[in-house]
Each structure stands twice: as structure tokens, then as C-alpha cells.
Structure 1
Amino acid sequence: MLLAGCGGGDDNTPASSQQAAQTVTCADMSGKTVPAASIGLATGGASVTSATVVKATDAGNSNGEYCKVIGKITPAASAAAGTPDINFELNLPTAWNGKAVQMGGGGYNGTVVTGTTAVSFAPGSVPLAQGYATFGSDSGHTGNSATADFALNEAAINNFGFEHLKKTHDTAFALIKQFYAKSPDKSYFAGASTGGREGMTVVERFASDYDGVIANAPALNFSGVRLQGVKIGQAAYGTPGGYINTAKQKLILKTVLDNCDADDGATDGIVSNVAACRAKASTITAALRCPSGADTGDSCLSDAQLGTVAAIQDDLVLPYQLAYGVNRHQGYNILQGADFSGGLGLGTSATLLSPPTVAANGYLYAQGDGYLKYFVTKNPSLDSLHFDLNNPGQYQQRLVDLSATVGAMNPDISAYRSRGGKLIILHGLADEVISPNVTIAYYNAQVAKDGQSAVDSYIRFYNVPGMGHGDGTFVPAWDAMTALDKWVTQGTAPDVLVGTDTVTATSGRSRPLCRYPTYPRYKGSGSINVADSYACTAP
């Protein structure tokens, strides 16, 4: 059937019959508007700037036929001068399944999330191809992901933090109803990293809008991760000899694997039994240390370099509280298999650039430096190497306020649970950008507060050994949307899932995706490349 639009029927029209009553064409969507009164937060309304049919046979399209809607949400009249529009894309499939997925962004956003690709950190799950109407936005600014200078505009911070999510959701739903003449039967959110934070944000702030959420590698404690990045930079570049070069970055991983790879019963380059490996941290540190503590070459680490390892490994603990009483950012698994030698690791240069760059000076420090300059102090000339994290003086309240605006640490998600919402969280244990230990702590706090049975009724939490921030030794393809949709619509809660490796060198091997706190342990027989050869085991 050609994409002539959808219409007719009420909100209870079965998805399978919606196409038969279409009354609005894709071309008709161009110029459509959504009044400010239909959007739950203050805006100047929204408008569609273009609407075009993408045919199933178009080059590069594997999503079937759909109507591609491009639009913008303008700031409210009361917004500060210079506040950017929120640009969005909405995709309306001809073979609509009656449901919608809002897709999250990454980093500091700044580019429109098209909604035409797989769920982040879940390759193999492409909602548009599966029949979902999909949508996403640029979060209210364009570009600037490297320096975060969009944050000089306070309204843009609010949009990035949480407001764009509600504004885009309400706009998309109004347009979906105009096109199909009915609202979606189910509303989902899916994203990773910043998109994972956004997923947790809608659970915490806009619970009534979503039936299910996928939050992969969520940047829950956004302020904490940025401040820990500054701490790491201060250790690497503010301490003489603290920088760890690429050869030594690789040495750390090799030493960890030598000590911990076999702890799960299989020698496969993956540290699966992270708890057992953590118990060996002092042994690994001793093996890495240069005998005299001075730098004697690439076969060991000096005491200054081990200080940088500690800045990565240890929790950042602040003498004051951020939002929701949080005063800690849990450290990274650098001594348990996380690889900091890649493009999102510690960088390649012992020389600190001005401003720091991800490639030269490491992702965590470069992003932390930009956060202090643009979000916190509004001073692009700030010297972050000498910023006192423990005594930020006039900026302490600012840090507290920002941690509430841009973050998802609110422990109260009872409204989402009460409305029957379902939540799937997945985090790689070798993540070098967003520490999995923050997510683990948040989940454990939910269990301590509400009990395991209550948490099991609406949260599934998976840890993936060997998986970094979308990279690593094992990067699984898994069908996140099917798992979530079956839980929401059929009441079938996911248990152990199966992930198929997408890493080129090991493509096609499989592992069970185990629910926390279990990990995949080799049974002792069968191929180590097949999921059935592993059992999810408590550490």
C-alpha cells in the first residue's frame, strides 16, 4: 500500500486495521502545526517544515516505507533571547504496529536523532523496521558536542537536561494522531549513554507518558562523571609524570587479563567474574608497579601513573552533597577489564592541549573540562587543572543545581512502577565512559528500598562482561524492543537473554546476557563461543 496517510477510527482501532482508513497523505503533513497548549512544557508551539515519503525501495533504506517528518519546536515567548529551537524528526511507517518509540541521543547531543537506526547499544533492534513510529530531537541545540559551549545559554541547558524530552514527546504524539487519526497504543523510550540518562529521566520525571523504557549505559550521575573526569585529568596532567601512555594503557589491560581472564572458566579475553578480579586489585597493582616507583619504561607504571589509575578506579567522594543527597561517583573497572587505550580512553599525548581534546587528552578529562567551563563557571578560560573539586566555593550551589537539571539520580521512581511501566537497563562491565558501578549502585539502592520482588516486577538489569561504551571485546546484538514489548503487552518478563557478538574478530559468537548480579560462567564443556556452554552464576 502506498503511504497515503492514515486516519479514521478512534484510539481503540486495532493496529492491523489502521491503514485501511487512511485520510491524510504524507505530503499533507508538511506545514502542520502543534499549538503550545498541546505541549506539556512552555514552548512557542511546533511546526512541520517538510514531510516526504521514503519508499521501501529507496537506496539505503531497510526500514520499509515511511513518511519522514522534519520539524521544529520554538521557544516560548518568555525564553531568553538566543534560545535555540528544538529540531526533531518523526518517522511514520506505512505498516504501523500502533506503537511509538522515542529514541535518545548521545554525548552532548546537538544533532537530530533520526530514529531510523538501531537502538543504541542494541544492534539488531531497529524499531522503525519493526513497525514502530519513531522520533528524536537534537535536544535544543546544534553542534558543540566537543566543547559544550551551548551551555552558555541557560535555557539550552534545561532543554538538554530534561525539557526537550517532554516537548518532543508531546509534539510527536500530536502529529502521530493527526496522521493516523489515533494515538499510539503503547509509548516507549530507548537510548544509551546520554540516551540512557534520558530514558531514566523520563522514568523519573514523565512517568505517565511511557509504558516501557530501555536505558543502556545510562549517564545517571552526569555531574559526577564530569567531575571524575576532571579528577583524572588533574592526576594525569597536573601531577608530574602522571600521564599514562598508550603502551602502558595496553599493559594495564594485559596484566588484568593475565590475572583474571580464566576466573569464569574460559580464557577468551573477557573478564566475566568481575567480583573475583576486584579481589585481586592489590596483586594487579603490585605487578604493574615499577620496582623503584620511578618510571623505567613501558614495562611498568610509576607511582605517579598508578595515582592516575587510582583516580580512575576509586570513587570520587565529595565533602558536600549534590542533588538527592548524592556525594559519590563510583569509579571505573580499569583493573577489572575496562580498556582505556581506545578512542574513548585516556588519550595519546603527554602534552595537555588548550582546550583538551578527546583524542589527545582523553574523553573523560576533555568532557569534564568543558563541563566546568561552560555549564558550571561560564568561563571558557577556566584552568580546570586547578579547580578544587572538594572546595568549589562560589560554584558549589551551581554544581548542586546542575546535578538535578542534568542527571537522573532521583531514587523515587514509584510513579513509574505504579502506572505499570517496565524498565530494561543494560550496562557493559568494561565501560570506559560511563561507569557501570554507578548503575549498579542505583539498582542496589532500589532493591534495598523496595525489596527484590517489587523491583523484579518492573526492572530487568543486565551487566555485559567485556563490553565497553559501545566497543570492547564483546559487543552484543540483541533485540531490546521485542523483549520490552513482550513484557509490556504480554506480561512476559525477560530473563536470561542471548547476545551475539558484533566485534569483527569474534563476530557471531554468543553469550548469555545475565541478570545482575550473575555473570556467564563456562560450564566446562562445549564450545566457548556458544551461549549454551555458559550458565548465569552468582559471583
Structure 2
Amino acid sequence: MKNLNFLLIPTAFFSCVLLCSCGDNDSNNTSNPQLTPATPGTLKTCDEITSQYSFKNTTITGSKIIAAGDVEYSSTETYHAPEHCLVTGYMNERIGTGIAGDTRYAIGFEMRLPTNWNGRFYYQANGGLDGSVAKAVGRLLFSGGSDSAALNEGFAVISSDMGHPSPTPLFGLDPQARLDYGYNAVADLTPMAKNIIEKAYGKQPDRSYFAGCSNGGRHTMVAAARYADMYDGFLVGNPGFNLPKAAVAQMYGIQEYSKLVEFDGADILTTLQTAITPEEFSLVSKKVLEQCDVLDGTSDGMIANTYACQKAFDLERDVPTCSNGRDNTCLTAKQKQVLGNIMSGPHNSQTGEAIYADFPYDAGIGSSGWSEWEYFMALNRDPGAVGFIFSTPPTPFNGESEQSSLEYVQSFSMDNDVQRIYGTDSIYSESAIDFMTPPHPTDLSVLKSRGAKMMVFHGTSDPVFSVNDTVNWYNGLTNANAGNAETFARLFLIPGMNHCGKGPTTDKFNMIDALVDWVEKGVEPKNITAAVRADNTELPSNWSKERTRTLCPYPKFAKYNGTGSIEDAASFSCVSPE
């Protein structure tokens, strides 16, 4: 690899988890085709795949039977798995170009093929900046428990590194690696994976599903827009489908918080976190609840009627302004201004044009997940993503320290430098907006016309990918389909949930089974039952550890019926906002 010492970006530094529309020509047709159910099969070959399999630009590095048992997905997650065939390999091996020359690139993958197969294929879209092949267990997003994996339910599963190695975000210097990460790896992996499935079982999958959260949710939305002919169902979680814009918004947050502190050589992150402390964020959460908790019919520490809350709560009026110093019972006038600016989203100061969506006030603003993304992730991840991956040309910097990241953020102009995410040149022919976001995101005519389905969920307290961005997309999708988007796509808001889980919320639910039933049986997902996680340390002490809630398809929300336990989803019904 060429000398990149001037970059000096450690592997761990950026390896944390990230994150004009076309109408439907058949928008008045609400009768979509009904796809038939998958039929099961049995594994016919495994060990021989290594020597016998042949596919364009693909190398199989191993294939072997794995006995039934536990698969360690990470240091904190283990999943049960049946007996299955593990296939590993890579595609499109090459040497990087330009400043990334001498670096080996390939699309690495692994597949896990159960001996007793349910006839379905599951694309496990991983998050962050990718760069490594996660275990292809097929995590069933937010189902909870060691049994909640697609592999364990009989799916054939693939996982990949999306075409680049660690350390990330250095791959952004290579133009093809950018495209692979954005969308192209899926295009190449999918037919190859289905071909391996055919080799292993004697037939291709009857039904194919794509699922992910965060950047994995972005991957899924991009696949729904680009590759709806390859997949039948899409499960989208907290999607960063405008990720380049969201990353800029994160940097804007650091710029704003920096106005409240003085960096005097002390630890950058520690100093930054004093701008608005956890106790002060909790104060805001408390005041939001005071105004909004009962808008769903009961006082339960959750805000289901999110958008009525935005009208009911006023930061300036409802949070006391400090008169004699900060004591966790008030915010200073300057803190209010900074928080208000951040919640409103970044704008071009000259034109007033919004750079990214605004954020709703919600109960989860007081949780640790909120401040972690506002400070640590925004300082230690987003500058590298913007500088290396999303800017054209790349604007690399020495990311060895938080000081250098802070300097990069502070030098970034919201009026002028944002144009880099829209830029192209002779080397980087597609802008970040082109290769990262779904093309024509409200045109899902291919998905709709063939009977495929999409389910989307988003936490209302997501501090990095605004739920308002997803709601705006869904409203646009509805308009593009004459009000009938719900016939093939549904959005579920998760009150209080931070980014892909946690917070004061019910974030344990199974949407993949509901998606399969919708795709293959025509059973509409009218609501989803969600529960609290027993290991969620941020649940209020007065909540039952057995609390359940009804998740409703937007724009409906769960309203208390007036009788029954507030800990039981059966006491709530989905109603339309007034």
C-alpha cells in the first residue's frame, strides 16, 4: 500500500457503527399481485461447493458443515443455529486505484445454508461503514433472544463486507469501493448467492428478503429502489437513507455544541459533553413529557402522538431559563438557542435552505443513546465519513486524534462545503447523494407491481437519522401512489426508541414474520405488538418489566382505550390523528 502516513487514522477510530420524486405510473391500481408461499428443501451438497462451484469473478474459500449449536455473532450476542453449511468467499478481487493504490479490494461474504431449508433467502444488511464480514446468522431485527435469527428459522443467509476492508473510512479514496458500499455490492452478490443456493438445494429461493437497521436500513431502502426485481420483502429499520446529509448534520451539531464550551487542552470529548449534560437532556425529556405524555390518552412515560407533541411543546416556554447559573433545573438562554438550532436541523445561512431534516422532541432525548450519538459518534465517526467517503474530491485529514476531527468539523462550512456531497469529477463519477441514496425514493413501482412488500420502522428519539426524514419520505410515497402506499409499504414509529433500539421504549418486536405473512399470504400488518427488553437499564423504574405496546402503521398511533392496564398492549388501539 502506498504511504498514507499523513492520514494516520486508527482502525478502531472509524469502525464504530455509523449511520424531486417520481410518481407511480400505476398509482390508482390498489390490487397488487399476491406472491405464493415458499416451499422447503433439503441441503444436497456442501463440502463439494469449494471445488465445484463456478461463478463470474467469484472465489469460494471454504464450504463445510457446521453442527447445530450456538454462533457467536459478537462479544455480546450469541444465536442458536441448526445444522448448516458455511460457505465463505469473495468477488471482484482487484487492486485499488489512485491514492488507494496497492490496496486489495474484494467483496467478501459468507453464507449459511441450513440443512433443513424453508425455501427463503435472507440478505443480512450490516451497519456502519461495513468493512468486515459479520456472521451470517440473519438477525431478526429486534425480535430478541438467542433463537431470533433467520438462520434458526430455516432461511439461507448472506452477509458481506460491502466491498472493502478495514480500516474504514479509507476505502472512500477508491472510487469503485464507494460504489460497492453504496449499492453495487448488492447487485453483484445477489445473483451469485442465489446461484449457490441453487447448487446447494437444487433450486433457487422461492422468496427473498432484505433487512437491516441504520446504514443497513439505508442498504435496504436502496435495494428496494434499485433491485426490487431480486427481492420480495424489505424490512427497513431507522434508515439513514440520506446518510451523507445526516453525517453533515452531525457535524453541525458539534459546531453548535462547541459554542457552549471552551477547549483549553483538556480532553476534547469530555469538554464537549459539558455543553448540555445528561442531567440537562433529562430535564428537557421531563418537560416534553409534561406537555405531551397524556396526548395518547394516558400518562405512561411514552409519547405515542408524536406530531401533536410538536405543537404542544415549546422549548423556550416549557423549559425554565437559568437566572442564577446551571443547576440541572434549567437551561441557559444560549443552551436553548443551540439545542433549538440542532433540533431544527442545519440550514444554509445565506439561502435558508435545509441541509437535512429537523428532529422531533421526544421522551428519549434524556437517554444515554441520545448523548452518545450527539457527542461521541458525531465527533469520532462522521468527520471521517464526510471527508473520505462522501466528499468529491475526498478531503482527507489526520484523524489520529479528536483534536484533528474537531478542527475538521470547525473548518467545514455549512454554506459552501456541503456541495461536496453533491460533487463529481473525472475520478469520482457519482456523487455521494447518487451512490448512497435511493434513486427516486418515492418511485417503488417495480416493487409494487410484482407484489413485493416493504415494512419500515423508526424510533421517534433517533438522534442521528431523523424520524421526520423517514416520515417525509413516506408522505411522499403516499402522494405518489394516490394515497394507496399502504397496500405495499407501511411505516411504524417506535415511541421513545433511540437509534436502532434502547431508550424508554418497547423495542422488542418481530416484524420479519409479519413481513413474510404479508408477502406470501396477503395478511396485512395492521399492528405489531412490542415489548420492553428486560435488560434495558434505561427503563423508568415505575414501568413493568412485562410492558407491551401496540405499534401502529403511520399516521395512526396507539391510544389508551380508557380501561385496562397501561402495561398491556390490549389496552391500546390504533387511531388516526385529529
TM-score (structure 1 length as normaliser): 0.84
Q: Does residue 82 of structure 2 align to residue 64 of structure 1?
A: yes
**Structure 1 residue 272 corresponds to structure 2 residue 304:** yes
Aligned match of 1:35: 55
SS state of the match for residue 339, structure 1?
A: helix
Q: Structure 1 residue 464 and structure 2 residue 487: aligned?
A: no
Q: 1:427 deviation in Å?
A: 1.0
Aligned partners of 1:442 and 1:320: how far apart in 2?
26
Contact preservation (8 Å) 1:96, 1:131: yes
Give the Å deviation of 1:151.
1.7
Partner in structure 2 of residue 442 of structure 1? 473
- Between the aligned partners of 2:234 and 2:174, the Cα distance in structure 1 is 29
Please point out which of 402, 406, 414 is paired with 2:432. 402
- What SS is found at the alignment partner of 2:136? coil
- Go from structure 1 to structure 2 and tell me whether the alpha carbon gap of 1:319 and 1:307 turns closer, same or farther (over 3 Å shift): closer
Letter of the 2:242 counterpart: N
Aligned partner of 1:206: which letter?
Answer: Y
Q: Percent identity?
A: 26
Q: Which residue, out of 348, 351, 356, partners 1:329?
A: 356
What is the rounded CA distance, in whole Å, between the counterparts of 1:218 and 1:34 in structure 2? Answer: 35
Deviation at 1:118, TM superposition (A): 2.4
Q: Partners of 1:13 and 1:236 in 2: how far apart?
A: 52
2:527 — aligned with what? 496
Shift of 1:486: 1.4
CA 1:534–1:114: 2 relative to 1, 3 Å: same
Cα gap change, 1:121 to 1:438, in 2 (>3 Å)? farther
Alignment counterpart, residue 51 of structure 1, candidates 59, 63, 77: 63
Matching residue's letter, 2:357: Q
| Aligned residue number for residue 252 of structure 2 | 231
Counterpart for residue 152 of structure 1: 173
Instruction: Report the residue type matching 1:134 in the other structure.
Output: V
Secondary structure in structure 1 of the residue aligned to 2:211: strand
> 2-side partners of 1:30 and 1:396: how far apart?
41
What code does the residue aligned with 2:356 have?
Answer: H
Residue 74 (structure 1) aligned to one of 77, 92, 100: 92
Summarize deviations over 1:176-230 as a string: whole Å, max 9, x none.
Answer: 1111121101111011111111111011111211111111111111111111111
- Equivalent residue for 2:159? 136
Q: Which amino acid aligns with 1:263?
A: L
Matched position secondary structure for 1:129:
helix
Pairing 1:304-323 to 2, within 5 Å after superposition: 304-318=334-348
**CA deviation string 1:413-465 (max 9, x = no partner):** 22222222111111111222221111000000111122222x12211111111
CA RMSD in angstroms comes to 2.8
Q: Distance in 2 between matches of 1:92 and 1:304?
A: 57
Q: Is the counterpart of residue 15 in structure 1 residue 39 in structure 2?
A: yes
C-alpha separation between the residues in 2 aligned to 1:404 and 1:320? 25
Q: Which moved more, 1:169-178 or 1:123-132?
A: 123-132
SS of the equivalent of 2:105 reads coil
Q: What stretches of structure 1 of length at least 5 have no aligned partner?
A: 1-11, 37-44, 348-357
Contact 1:510–1:530 (8 Å) recurs in 2: yes
Gaps of 5+ in 2: 1-35, 72-77, 263-271, 399-406, 425-429
Return the alpha-carbon distance in structure 1 between the equivalents of residues 338 and 349 of structure 2.
21
Choose between structure 1 and 2 for higher RCO, CA contacts under 8 A separated by at least 6 residues. Answer: 2
Q: 1:227 to 1:394 in 2, by over 3 A?
A: closer
Structure-2 residue corresponding to 1:352: none
Q: Deviations over 1:84-136 (max 9, x none)?
A: 22211101001101110101111112221323152234436521111111111
CA distance in 2, matches of 1:108, 1:211: 26
CA distance in 2, matches of 1:226, 1:28: 45
The amino acid of 1:29's aligned partner reads I
1:327, distance to aligned residue in structure 2 (A): 5.5
Q: Which amino acid aligns with 1:380?
A: F
State the partner residue of 2:144: 123
Identify the residue that residue 338 of structure 1 maps to in structure 2. Answer: 364
Contact 1:152 1:378 in 2 (8 A): no
The 1-side partners of 2:37 and 2:345 are apart by 52
Corresponding position of 2:417: 392
Letter in 2 for 1:494: P
Q: 1:213, 1:13 → 2: CA distance?
A: 16
Q: Which amino acid aligns with 2:560?
A: Y
Deviation at 1:530, TM superposition (A): 0.8
Number of residue equivalences:
494
Relative to structure 1, the CA distance from residue 340 to residue 234 in structure 2 (aligned partners, 3 Å threshold; closer, same or farther) is: farther
- With over 3 angstroms needed to count, the CA separation of the structure-2 counterparts of 1:397 and 1:122, relative to structure 1, is same
- Aligned counterparts of 1:75 and 1:57: Cα–Cα separation in 2: 33
Opposite residue 48 of structure 2, the aligned amino acid is: D
d(CA) in 1 for partners of 2:513 and 2:556?
23
* Contact in 1 for aligned 2:256/2:342 (Cα 8 Å): no
Greater shift in the superposed pair: 397-406 or 468-477: 397-406
Structure-2 separation of matches of 1:320 and 1:199: 35
Query: Does 2:232 align with 1:219?
Result: no
Preserved contact between residue 421 and residue 433 of structure 2 (Cα < 8 Å) = no
The Cα shift of 1:508 comes to 2.9
Check the 8 A contact 2:210/2:220 in 1, yes or no: yes
Counterpart code for 1:536: C
Q: TM-score, normalised by structure 2?
A: 0.79
Report the Cα offset of residue 234 of structure 1: 0.6
1:172 aligns with 2:193: yes
CA distance in 2, matches of 1:14, 1:298: 57
Q: CA deviation at 1:340?
A: 5.3
1:90 equivalenced with 2:104 (yes/no): no
Deviation of 1:477 after TM superposition, in Å, equals 2.5
| Cα distance, 1:364 vs structure 2 | 3.2
Residues 374 and 245 (structure 1), Cα distance of their counterparts in 2 relative to 1, 3 Å cut? same
